[in-house]
Amino acid sequence: MKQHEIEDALVERFLRYVRVPSESKANGGKVVPSTQEQWDMARLLQKELESIGLKEVSLSDKCVLTGHLPANLPPDAPHVPAIGFCAHMDTVDVSLSPVVKPQRVRYEGGDIVLNAAQNIVMRAAEHPELAPYVGQELIVTDGTSVLGADNKAAIANIMTALDTLTGDPTRPHGDVYVAFVPDEECGLWGSKNMDFTKFPVNYAYTIDCCALGEVVYETFNAGSAEVTIHGVSAHPMSAKGVLVNPTLLAVDFVNLFDRRETPECTEGTEGYIWCQTIRSNPTTATVELNIRDHDKARYEERKRLITANIEKLRQMEPRCRVDCTMEDTYGNIADAVTDENRQAIDNIYEAMKRLDITPNTIAMRGGTDGSFISTKGILTPNYFTGGLNFHSNCEFLPIPSLRKSYELTMALIALAYEKAH
């Protein structure tokens, strides 16, 4: 296909996908998917995968959609690694409209009026990230929702790549597996419910970071802790020496942590413990903590610090009872890198060089589905969708960057074949 034909195919798919509402809602993974709307997206993609010609298309009871594009190889071809691509179907809930009304605009500089009726404007002075895209076509929101390039740009990318491969029998490639998962935005619950027997790959990719050239193979180690403090209630007229106030104890507990090791005071690969929530009543208080660090040893130290501070609180007020549950959420992709699977990362840089894309390697202060998948022995680095301002009504997607992301996907599939020879 010619460049403009590729862009048209990508944009057609992307616009169609973002018009299907599929917000997820945080529920601690109690029900997966967290919203019924994600089933609509999954069933749409299921039909498309089947019509494209993928085999073993399966939609699980957790709304995880998988499929297999069998290898297309000459009879005497050596073994080619099986590669996978994973994207999430949900869009983030940031209290905007779940209904996306995308617009295609040619950016000539200055402000972009997203919604004249509601006076919603993306101002260039507030969004310097617009400047490199003067003269390009962008897809933007109407100001009332996120755009959903996170992660439907990736889905459009993958689906277009699959369509290209099945439509060209002269193009050799190894086995390609795909997984479209729900509930990434609220805890990676889709990838945590994958059946990996349906994703038997040597390595995989997510396409879930931002601007042209971004590459991520280092993410946080992430966990959470829920600390419940049980006090003693009493009537104020007879409370002296009796009342144990769990709300104040929760404040005392939080104050035991270093205020400089919080999200607002750290950057780069610096970790933190984030007090996200305190809920209390006269008898109990619950403190919810997020634990993050790129370094595994420091991450484990932070978990031990929570346990040590709980013991300090017990010593401060022996009459209180404190319970704690702690769990790991995902791991640092970099910890899964070995000499055997490093090809997955090396191929990104080689493909970018071929495509004249300047790489921008980032240590992500967050995680992706690949952060969990990598803990299962499948190294899953991440590369750019092309979109910017994720989780915002000022999210936008430069169409040339979307095309470059697709070209990178195709180049990675080709490299897996080439390097087997």
Provide the residue range defining the domain that includes 138.
Answer: 3-219+332-418
- Same domain? 338 vs 261: no
Domain end point (choices 330, 361, 379): 330
Catalytic residue among 150, 184, 218, 293: 184
Kindly state the helix (H) or strand (E) to which residue 14 belongs, with its residue range. helix 3-18
Spatial neighbors of 46 by CB under 8 A, at least 6 apart, are: 57, 59, 65
Instruction: Look up the CATH number of the domain holding residue 198.
Output: 3.40.630.10
- Same domain? 323 vs 354: no
- Same domain? 233 vs 186: no
Domain end point (choices 330, 359, 374): 330
The dihedrals phi and psi of 314, each to the nearest 5 degrees, come to -60, -35
Q: Collapsing DSSP states into helix, strand and coil, what is residue 203?
A: strand
Domain end point (choices 306, 330, 354): 330
What's the angle, vertex CA 151, arms to CA 175 and CA 31, rounded to 5?
A: 95
Q: Which residue has the tokens 């209390």?
A: 280
Q: What is the token pair recorded at 296? A: 């595994």
- Same domain? 168 vs 226: no
Q: What is d(CA 338, CA 341) in angstroms, rounded to the nearest whole number?
A: 5
Residue 339 appears among annotated catalytic residues: no
| Closest by CA position to 207, among listed 90, 89, 87, 91 | 87
Total number of domains in the chain: 2
- Same domain? 352 vs 295: no
- In 293-398, alpha helices (H): 296-316, 343-354, 369-373
- Same domain? 62 vs 164: yes
- Same domain? 204 vs 277: no
- Same domain? 277 vs 339: no
Residue 184 appears among annotated catalytic residues: yes
Return per-residue pLDDT of the chain as tens, 421 residues.
788 899 999 999 999 999 999 999 999 899 999 999 999 999 999 999 999 999 999 999 999 999 999 999 998 889 999 999 999 999 999 999 999 999 999 999 999 999 999 999 999 999 999 999 999 999 999 999 999 999 999 999 999 999 999 999 999 999 999 999 999 999 999 999 999 999 999 999 999 999 999 999 999 999 999 999 999 999 999 999 999 999 999 999 999 999 999 999 999 999 999 999 999 999 999 999 999 999 999 999 999 999 999 999 999 999 999 999 999 999 999 999 999 999 999 999 999 999 999 999 999 999 999 999 999 999 999 999 999 999 999 999 999 999 999 999 999 999 999 998 7
Instruction: Look up the CATH number of the domain holding residue 290.
Output: 3.30.70.360
pTM of the entire predicted model:
0.93
- In 125-245, alpha helices (H): 149-166
Catalytic residue among 48, 90, 208, 317: 90
Q: What is the pLDDT of residue 227?
A: 98
- Same domain? 102 vs 19: yes
- Same domain? 282 vs 195: no
- Same domain? 78 vs 183: yes
- Same domain? 230 vs 290: yes
389 Rama class: left (phi>0) / alpha (psi -120 to 50) / beta: left
